Structure 1
Amino acid sequence: MFQAMPYDGTRSERYESVLSQLGALMEGEPNAIANLANASALLKTSLPDTNWAGFYLFDGKELVLGPFQGLPACIRIPLGKGVCGTAASERRTLVVGDVHAFPGHIACDEASNSEIVVPLIQGDRLLGVLDIDSPIKHRFDDEERRFLERFAGMVAEVIC
Structure 2
Amino acid sequence: MAESTPDLRALPKPRAYDELLAHTRAVLEGIDDPIAAMATISALVHHAFGHLWTGFYRVAAPELLRVGPYQGTLGCLEIPFGKGVCGAAAREKRTVLVPDVHAFPGHITCDARSRSEIVVPVTGPDGALLAVLDIDSDRPNAFDDDDRAGLEALVAWFAEKRG
TM-score of the pair, normalised by structure 2: 0.90
The verdict on how the C-alpha distance between 1:76 and 1:46 changes in structure 2, with shifts beyond 3 A counting, is same
Q: How does 1:108-147 map to 2 (within 5 A)?
A: 108-122=110-124, 123-147=126-150
- 2:5 — aligned with what? 4
- 1:151 — aligned with what? 154
Shift of 1:35: 1.5
Percent identity (aligned): 44
Shift of 1:99: 0.5
- 1:53 is aligned to 2:61: no
Shift of 1:6: 4.8
Task: Deviation per CA, 1:50-107: give whole Å up to 9, x if none.
Answer: 2000000012321010000000011100000000001000000000011111111100
Partner SS state of residue 90, structure 2: helix
Off by >4 Å, runs of 4+ in structure 1? 6-9
Partner SS state of residue 135, structure 2: strand
Q: Which runs of 5+ in 1 are unaligned?
A: none
Shift of 1:15: 1.0
- 1:34 is aligned to 2:40: no
Q: Which runs of 5+ in 2 are unaligned?
A: none
Range with bigger deviation, 147-156 or 34-43? 147-156
Shift of 1:16: 0.6
- 1:43 — aligned with what? 45
For 2:15, give the aligned amino acid.
E
Aligned length: 158
For the 8 Å contact 2:114–2:139, the answer to whether it is kept is: yes
